[in-house]
Copies of this chain bind each other. A is one copy, B any other.
Amino acid sequence: MGMIGGGPGAFIGGVHRIAAGMDGEIELVCGAFSSDPEKSKQAGQQLNIPPNRVYGSYKEMIRSENSLPENERMDIVSIVTPNHVHYEPTKLALENGYHVILDKPLAFDLKEAKQLQEIAKKSQLLFCLTHTYTGYPMVKEARQLVLSGKLGKIRKVYVDYPQGWLTNLLEDPESTHHSHKQATWRTDPAQSGIAGAIGDIGTHAFNLAEYVSGLSVTRICADINTVVAGRKLDDDGTVLLKFNNGASGFLYSTQIAAGEENNTRIRVYGEKGGLEWQQEDANTLTVKWLDKPAEIYRTGNIYLTSFAKHNTRVPSGHPEGYLEAFANLYRNFALCVKAKMNGTEAQPEWLDFPGVEDGVRGMTFVEKVIESGKSDQKWIDL
């Protein structure tokens, strides 16, 4: 695997590397870790990458790797740059025959996203978008529970996603807060696109809603706010949702809920029962029944589906967390890549990772939510 981005000071690049390396399925063999060749070199050295495979730009990386014998060159490209540098490297990687794993969101805007979808489709290569929350074993269990029909027809879907870290104007150039750098690009329209919180975390909430419920959102009504004075993008929003089967619900994403960390939570109710999952207690899935005691499903137990079991490494009672969820995306992607390379069939559990369609859904969601936020009309089609 080669990596684009993830040089000094980046947060998510390190997470990708831990995730990719966890199960021994993927080896990091080269990288263009920064658009500054000097910084890229430094990063490569720290990561024990042979100097001749540390590149000063992603273009150089793809060109040089292309020139290596097929069995020596990288086979997967991992792209962990800010949103405005997703399109070009993804396009280039796909067009040169590399499978791509890309940090979400798919692109800077919907237009780019649809183009990437076309390119990916044509390429017949594998593509993974890192909507991490769908990598948690109990989120997979939740989806399987819904799909099994045990909850009955789904009626309500609620997703909460409160964070508090942008309560103050951290992106203020004079801020010395340790999250200043993270805040800066995320609140800058030139790097993030038209949305702030809705793009950064609202898309996760949206993906979670559709993934767990197995439904599609068809209409939305959004209340979008920029709460902190001086901020250039939204930092808070609630979106009413209507689904294709008649169900309804909401999601909200806010980054100004002072005191909240990263409190993603989903609840889904059907005719016979409901489920609840909260990321801060990730190994637990609560299932509530109309006239029976609620049940507590926990990772690592024999009563779970193969989807949960396949995505767990340690016995029950030994908590797994965010890095393991992330690693599940990488592992499943790698297993599918290997199967493809070996001409064997991928198992359903391996194929269960977010792809380019999820990315297009996400960008559609972002554009429509921002449009709805400005509109006096109540409902807007998605």
CB-CB under 8 A from A378, the residues of chain B are 221, 375-378
| Contact A288-B317, Cβ < 8 Å, known A24-B48, A295-B296, A296-B294 | no
Contact among B22, B303, B315 for A11, CB-based, below 8 A: B315
Q: Which of A30-38, A73-81, A258-266 contacts B (4 or more CB under 8 A)?
A: A258-266
Q: Is the CB of A293 within 8 A of B291?
A: no
Q: Is the CB of B269 within 8 A of A257?
A: yes
CB-CB under 8 A from A249, the residues of chain B are 238
A323 within 8 A of B: yes
Residue of B nearest to A372 (CB): B378
Residue of B nearest to A304 (CB): B293
A66 within 8 A of B: no
Contact among B151, B293, B375 for A303, CB-based, below 8 A: B293
Q: Is the CB of A322 within 8 A of B319?
A: yes
Counting chain B CB atoms within 10 Å of each CB, the highest count among A151, A152, A282, A315 belongs to A315
A14 within 8 A of B: yes
CB distance from A347 to the nearest CB of B (A): 19
A114→B3 CA distance, assembly (Å): 48
A287 within 8 A of B: yes
A190 within 8 A of B: no
Q: Is the CB of B319 within 8 A of A282?
A: yes
A15 within 8 A of B: yes
Q: Is the CB of A167 within 8 A of B290?
A: yes
A18 within 8 A of B: yes
Q: Which of A121-129, A270-278, A356-364 contacts B (4 or more CB under 8 A)?
A: A270-278
Residue of B nearest to A219 (CB): B223
A15→B318 CA distance, assembly (Å): 11
Contact among B24, B261, B273 for A317, CB-based, below 8 A: B261
A240→B21 CA distance, assembly (Å): 44
A346 within 8 A of B: no
8 Å CB interface, A331-382 against B: 375-379
A63 within 8 A of B: no
Residue of B nearest to A284 (CB): B280
Other than the given A238-B248, A258-B270, A313-B323, 12 more pairs (CB < 8 A) read A15-B313, A24-B46, A163-B317, A250-B250, A257-B269, A257-B274, A261-B301, A263-B317, A283-B321, A293-B298, A295-B296, A378-B378
